[in-house]
Amino acid sequence: MQWGSASEFFAMGGYGLYVWTSFVATALCMVWEVLALWRRRAAARAEQRAALLGGTDETAA
Amino acid sequence: MSVNWSKYSSPQAFYPLAGRLIPWFAVVAVALMGVGLYMGFFVAPTDFQQGESYRIIFVHVPAAWMSMFLYVVMAVWAGIAMGLNARLSFMMAQAIAPTGAMFTFLALLTGAMWGKPTWGAWWVWDARLTSELILLFQYAGVMLLRTSIDDLRRADRSSAVFSLVGVVNVPIIYFSVQWWNTLHQGASVSMSTGSKMAATMLTAMLLMTVAFWLYSIAVILARARCIMIERESQPVWDEKPAVIPEAVEAR
């Protein structure tokens, strides 16, 4: 291992800003994509449930 | 034992199958990312020319590879969809575009983060960078074309044709560093000359690539399931239909 200390690790030999921006941006994009899909799925299922319930009401009436 | 694959070509059969597969792809993707990041930051040595800035390679190259690979996969689904007029294939092509666009954006962003310290510029109009930027516009075009056309069948076919035509850009991106004198460095891994990197660097990069690939499969399957619910007016094909209890209560 080439890191003497935690601060040395975060400094990345002076390239810390570039290296960590790259990794954090990638992580944020992936987390955002997963959360967005989660919400999209919940919304789609809620809408479908509402549509189906509306359908059963119509047939009952 | 033979598997009847055509059985899964209908959304009704695909939906629960995808639901069962997603957690496995997700778990393995996260595990490989953990190992890949550990190797990339703690095992792989410092580069003798670029210092620590080269570590951007562990997200940059996998993201760039996925951006091109996903475009080709999207175009293949679009082609199958056009040829067979297959609903599921149109949905798969639709499900791939946002993830492909995200990786293209990340390849450009991490590339800028690498370009600034190594070349002294965030951006240059180099053949590799320019063709990758065009790929981002192509993904945007595929998605915008879909949202701008109300008729679903026309939207499907238009975006499929657009993605098929645009696939010519992928070999241009890939071979741009050979065809033109680019500022962007040549391929780090090549079929003919092998790898020019230290073994631990290469292992970390390949682990991250496989992890990104499995991640892509998981999110694309999840998005395809969303698209199926949104498009089909029929009840969900879920293992446990969430609709039944409430429907019973409503009576």
Determine the structural domain holding residue A30 and report its residue range: 6-60
Q: Which residues contact B216 (CB under 8 A, 6 or more apart)?
A: B66, B70, B99, B103
The structural domain count of chain A equals: 1
Neighbours of B166 (CB within 10 A): 20
* The three-state (H, E, C) secondary structure of B177-219, written as one string: HHHCCCCCCCCCEECCCEECCCHHHHHHHHHHHHHHHHHHHHH
Q: Which residues contact B96 (CB under 8 A, 6 or more apart)?
A: B70, B73, B74, B77, B220
Asked whether residue B5 is domain-assigned, the answer is no
Q: Could you report the predicted ipTM of this complex, rounded to two decimals?
A: 0.87
What is the distance between the alpha carbons of residues B38 and B192, in angstroms, rounded to a whole number?
Answer: 29
Give the nearest partner residue to A40 out of B52, B226, B235, using CB atoms: B226
pLDDT at A54 over 80: no
What is the distance between the alpha carbons of residues A28 and B66, in angstroms, rounded to a whole number?
Answer: 17
Closest chain B residue to A26 measured between Cα atoms? B106
Asked whether residue A47 is domain-assigned, the answer is yes
Give the nearest partner residue to A22 out of B43, B113, B236, using CB atoms: B113
pLDDT at A1: 64
Looking up residue B138, the CATH number of its domain turns out to be 1.20.120
pTM of the model: 0.89
Asked whether residue A1 is domain-assigned, the answer is no
pLDDT at B173: 94
Whether A23 and B59 lie within 8 Å, measured CB to CB:
yes
A18 neighbourhood in chain B, CB within 8 Å: 53, 56, 113-114, 116-117
Contact status, residue B42 vs residue A9, Cβ threshold 8 Å: no
Asked whether residue A43 is domain-assigned, the answer is yes
Task: Inform me whether the C-beta atom of residue B63 falls under 8 Å from chain A C-beta atoms.
Answer: yes
Determine the structural domain holding residue B156 and report its residue range: 16-250
B236 neighbourhood in chain A, CB within 8 Å: 45, 48
Asked whether residue A16 is domain-assigned, the answer is yes
Closest chain A residue to B54 measured between Cα atoms? A19
Mutate to test the interface with A, among B243, B244, B249, B251 (most CBs of A within 10 A): B243
Region of residue B182 (phi > 0: left; psi between -120 and 50: alpha; otherwise: beta) = beta
Q: Of B166, B45, B194, B178, whose CA–CA distance to B104 is shortest?
A: B166
Asked whether residue B11 is domain-assigned, the answer is no
The one-letter amino acid code at B215 reads Y
The structural domain count of chain B equals: 1
pLDDT in tens, chain B (251 residues): 455 656 667 788 889 999 999 999 999 999 999 999 999 999 999 988 889 999 999 999 999 999 999 999 999 999 999 999 888 999 999 999 999 999 999 999 999 999 999 999 999 999 999 999 999 999 999 999 999 999 999 999 999 999 999 999 999 999 998 888 888 988 877 666 667 778 899 999 999 999 999 999 999 999 999 999 998 765 555 544 444 444 444 44
pLDDT at B239: 46
Whether B114 and A22 lie within 8 Å, measured CB to CB:
yes
